[in-house]
Amino acid sequence: MSKAKPSMDWEGIKAEVHRRKMTFTELAVRHGMHPSLIRKVKSATLYEAQAVLAAFIDQKPEDLWPDRYPRKTSAIFDSAKWGPAEGQKTLRPADMVAA
């Protein structure tokens, strides 16, 4: 299985933002984010910042960072469906003699 290639590399993204007379800092501030947040998108998965940056350059975040999508969600253990985990306390009453 081959990995999908991004539609633009980081240097291309930076160049497009600058062609549109904007900086990462100004773009973040205009969207109510911390000034350095959009610069961190290169090395960190920040979905809100990725969406702002992608929308600004008329791209989809999924096309710019295909390895980060679809978004991974944490699974919640459903004990009603799967039963209690081995580490969970049992529902037996306490053994008063041993206590």
Give the CATH number for residue 28: 1.10.260.40
Residues 28 and 35 sit within 8 Å (Cβ to Cβ): yes
pLDDT above 70 covers what percent of the chain? 77
Residue 4 belongs to a domain: no
pLDDT of residue 1: 46
Is this structure's pTM higher than 0.95? no
Residue 85 belongs to a domain: no
| Domain span holding position 50 | 10-68
Q: State the pLDDT confidence band at 90, using cuts at 50, 70 and 90.
A: low
Residue 3 belongs to a domain: no
pLDDT for 7 beyond 50: yes
Residue 59 belongs to a domain: yes
Domain count, the chain: 1
The tokens for 19 are 């062609």
Residue 81 belongs to a domain: no
Q: State the pLDDT confidence band at 94, using cuts at 50, 70 and 90.
A: low
Helix (H, G, I), strand (E, B) or coil at 7: coil
